[in-house]
Structure 1
């Protein structure tokens, strides 16, 4: 940009200095409908520069009006809060129909005339996440961040976390999850996203630690929680069976609540893995408790 400005100034300077050095300002003649207008070349250049300046100022004023949130600005660019609401409604219908790409486009359009642009960009970003368009979703989140108000921060963080998990940015997502769990430890959606992340990275112990609060806030149905619990405990037993310390599994098992110790599925899994580790005596103890 600076280089272009320097070239432009050199050209303008040449227009002025050239004729002056030749002691001849030259002339410019215009004939319009039998009218003849003549002036010096320097005068013509000055008038042209003034005309360009006026056009530039006029364009800036128009841009200011078109980008304003006033009724005139909305009318001039054919946008209004009412149209934005209609677009959001249409986009929500498309989301239900599974047309994520078109829904994202409508959410983006609604942002131009919406009173809350952050909401429109967040909805568009979520639609793009559902459509696996992660680059576009990240760009929309950047737009949402520009005008994000304190009351919208939590929603913004949730959408951002969903993108991180889907995009397999596990280290970043883990940091985000820990921050959100500290901020809202009983929020069902935070717990569900934390659960999803920990399962993806195979951190079954973290899932086990979340289970009590997930049961309390009913993050999932009872049957889903039972299934999640079984997957987490069996997965953790399998993980510990591969530990270099064969006693690590036994120590962990003995530290579990009575309800877990009396669960037949977990008892059978423990006995099988203990046998593989050569801990026959411990395996027989568990099998005996199952028989009795």
Structure 2
């Protein structure tokens, strides 16, 4: 704008000089005459005198406006309650307040940010910072009051204020209040990703697996989490849900088993193929006495995808047909002859069928590939039953040493 003004001024001067050169000489010879008469007023002069009068009047008006502007500006500079000083105070208070907040000077931050909030037309950030500082000082009522003032001043910022409120409530340990705040916000803003994320973290922290499972579809729909994080959260939620279903308090075994089976059926089909979830469900079935169902489930799952963890668990189950179970596991041995876990499972299945010699061979073969404490314990128990007490004791000590070297101290020196 300044460049345009200067350009117009230069053009006006050039035009004035050109006009003077073209018309100046003829006008100099004829001074002209101006007459203004109105009722009793009469003014007459030459043209040049009239033009000069207009220029003087224009200059006087310009000087008067400039003087008024200077007076207003100087009045603002001198008046401590002027708008200029008010803006300056807000700026200084906000800068110092946020600096104090970042550096942990809570009392000073509270004082400066409250000052900035009272004088600013857009006080939201100052109220939120002041509420955080008051919360850090333990002034919880003041913190809630500041958030309420922020809501009164800027009601359109309800969501931002509620999210801050929930965070402060969690910092105080008021988990139930934070949950209530977020649930109200979810009712008002059902698709907001920050509300969903905070609810997800709260459910995860509280171990409320049923609520977390119910939140998963919205988290996926709104893309509130990355794919990898969402997949891990889904496994964790369903794992917790299965464990929770299998540990129903004040419920008999059939009722608990029904709840567990219902939770498994409610899972997405893709999760039924997750080895971790299969292992949790099968273990819960085993604990509740439904070993035949667990064995059948794992047998079908292992036919589709071989997994070491599931193979180890398979050896702890008593199916309806133990010989079929052993035959199935021996079929896996052809593709995995060096799997120590599979050999341990085969040994356990042989023990179920009282095939002592075959079980011993499988256990010893397993130890050649991996010295595992479970395998040592199983073989020690079998050897003790077969009368090989000395070797059995040695394997028990080895199992203890594998679990924790401190559990098997060095042998005492022989007495002399």
Q: TM-score range by the shorter chain?
A: 0.5 to 0.7
Q: Distance in 2 between matches of 1:272 and 1:173?
A: 35
CA distance in 1, matches of 2:111, 2:229: 35
Paired residue for 1:179?
A: 184
Residue in structure 2 matched with residue 224 of structure 1 by the alignment? 229
Q: Report if aligned partners of 2:235, 2:271 keep a CA contact under 8 Å in 1.
A: no
Q: 1:92 offset after TM fit, Å?
A: 4.6
> How far apart are residue 93 of structure 1 and its match?
5.5
The equivalent residue for 1:124 is 130
Cα pair 1:79 1:113 within 8 Å, conserved: no
Higher relative contact order (CA 8 A, sep 6+): 1
Residue 90 of structure 2 corresponds to which residue in structure 1?
84
Instruction: State how far apart, in whole Å, the 2-side matches of 1:107 and 1:114 are.
Output: 10
Alpha-carbon distance change, 127 to 225 in structure 1, aligned in 2, over 3 angstroms: farther
1:201 aligns with 2:201: no
Q: Map 1:158-173; keep pairs closer than 5 Å.
A: 158-173=163-178
1:32-71 correspondence to structure 2 within 5 Å: none
Structure 1 gaps of 5+ residues are 1-70
Report the Cα offset of residue 289 of structure 1.
3.2
Q: Find the counterpart in structure 2 of residue 252 from structure 1.
A: 263
Cα distance in 2 for residues equivalent to 1:198 and 1:134: 27
Q: Does 1:140 align with 2:177?
A: no
Matched, 1:288 2:299: yes
Deviation at residue 237 of structure 1 after TM alignment: 1.3
The alpha carbon displacement at 1:103 in A equals: 4.5
- The Cα of 1:248 is off from its aligned counterpart by 0.6
Counterpart of 1:267 in structure 2 is: 278
Does 2:246 correspond to 1:241?
yes
TM-score when normalising by structure 1 = 0.64
When the two chains are superposed, the root-mean-square deviation of aligned CA atoms in Å is: 3.0
Query: Partners in 1 of 2:146 and 2:129 — Cα distance?
Result: 9
SS at match of 1:75: coil
Residue 337 of structure 2 corresponds to none
TM-score by length of structure 2 reads: 0.46
Q: How many residues align?
A: 219
Aligned-partner Cα distance in 2 for 1:114–1:265: 55
Q: Quick one: distance in 2 between partners of 1:282 and 1:104?
A: 63
> Deviations 1:155-174 (Å, cap 9, x if unpaired)?
22222222333333344333
Which of 275, 278, 283 in structure 1 is aligned with 2:289? 278
